[in-house]
Amino acid sequence: MPNSATQTPPASQSNAKINASQRIPVVQIATPSAKIHVREQKGVFQRLRQHSNTLLIALFFLLPFINYQGRQAILFDVTEQQFFFFNLTLWPQDFTVLAWFFMAAAFALFFVTVYWGRVWCGFLCPQTAWTFIYMWIEANIEGNHHHRAALDKAPWSISKLRKRLTKHALWIVFALLTGCGFISYFMPARELYMDIFTASSGFWTGAWVWFFAICTYLNAGWMREMMCLHCCPYSRFQAVMFDANTKTVSYDAARGESRGPRKRAQKTELGDCVDCNLCVDVCPTGIDIRNGLQYECINCGACVDACNQTMEKFGYAPNLISFTSENALKSQPQASVFSLKGLGYASALLIMISLIIIDLSQLSHIQLNVIRDRQTLYREVGVDRVENSYQLKIRNKTQQAAVYQIAVRSNKTPSLTIVTDTVVQINPGEQLDYPVTVSGRRSERVDDTSQQTLQFSVTQINSVANSTPVEPENQVTQQSRFFWP
With residues binned 3-state (H G I as helix, E B as strand, rest as coil), the percentages for the chain, rounded to 5, are 45, 20, 35
| pLDDT of res. 28 | 42
Same-domain pairing of 243 and 103? yes
Let me know: does 402 contact 430? Beta carbons within 8 Å.
no
Residue 12 in any domain: the answer is no
Mean of the per-residue pLDDT values for the chain?
Answer: 87
406 touches 455 (CB < 8 A): no
Choose between 170 and 95: higher pLDDT. Answer: 170
Domain boundary among 348, 363, 378: 363
Q: How confident is the model at residue 3 (pLDDT cuts 50, 70, 90)?
A: very low
Residue 404 and residue 273 share a domain:
no
Is 27 inside a domain boundary? Answer: no
Residues 388 and 272 in one domain: no
Please give the residue range of the domain that contains residue 398: 366-483
- Asked if 406 and 448 count as a contact pair (C-beta separation under 8 A), the reply is no
Mean pLDDT, residues 95-113 taken together: 92
Within-domain flag for 427: yes
Q: Quick: pLDDT tens for 138-150.
A: 999 999 999 999 9
Q: Give the pLDDT band of residue 4 (cuts 50, 70, 90).
A: very low
4-18, 208-222, 318-332, 396-410, range with the lowest pLDDT: 4-18
Q: Are residues 102 and 212 both part of a single domain?
A: yes
Among candidate residues 329, 363, 397, the one where a domain is terminated:
363
Choosing from 342, 363, 384, the residue where a domain stops is 363
Length of the chain: 485
pLDDT at 466: 67
Strands (E), 253-401: 321-324, 366-372, 379-381, 385-396
Cα atoms found within 13 Å of the Cα of residue 208, Cβ hemisphere only: 13
Predicted local confidence at residue 443, as pLDDT: 80
Residue 400, pLDDT > 80, answer yes
The pLDDT of 443-465, averaged and rounded, is: 81
In a domain, 26, yes or no: no
Pick the most confident of 215-219, 237-241, 325-329.
215-219
Look at residue 131 and tell me whether its pLDDT is greater than 80: yes
DSSP per position, 124-184: T-HHHHHHHHHHHHHHHHH-SHHHHHHHHHSPP-HHHHHHHHHHHHHHHHHHHHHHHHHHT
Asked whether residue 459 is assigned to any structural domain, the reply reads yes
Residue 14 lies in a domain: no
Quickly state the pLDDT bin for 473 (edges 50, 70, 90): low
Q: Is the pLDDT of residue 181 over 60?
A: yes
Do 241 and 372 have their domain in common? no
Asked whether residue 242 falls in the same domain as residue 386, the answer is no
| Same-domain check for residues 119 and 250 | yes
Q: Are residues 65 and 111 in the same domain?
A: yes
| 5 falls within a domain | no
The pLDDT tens digits of the residues spanning 329-360 come to 888 776 666 788 889 999 999 999 999 999 98
- Considering the chain, what percentage of its residues have pLDDT values greater than 70? 90
**Which pLDDT band holds residue 310 (cuts at 50, 70, 90)?**
very high
Same domain, 263 and 378: no
pTM of the model: 0.81
376 lies in the same domain as 295: no
Domain count, the chain: 2
Q: Are residues 338 and 378 both part of a single domain? A: no
Task: Give the pLDDT band of residue 24 (cuts 50, 70, 90).
Answer: very low
Segment 40-86, tens digit of pLDDT: 999 999 999 999 999 999 999 999 999 998 889 999 998 888 899 99
Can you give the CATH number for the domain in which 435 is found?
A: 2.60.40.10
Residues 421 and 341 in one domain: no
pLDDT at 412 over 50: yes
Residue 6 within any structural domain of the chain: no
Nearest by Cα to 458 from 481, 430, 425, 484: 425
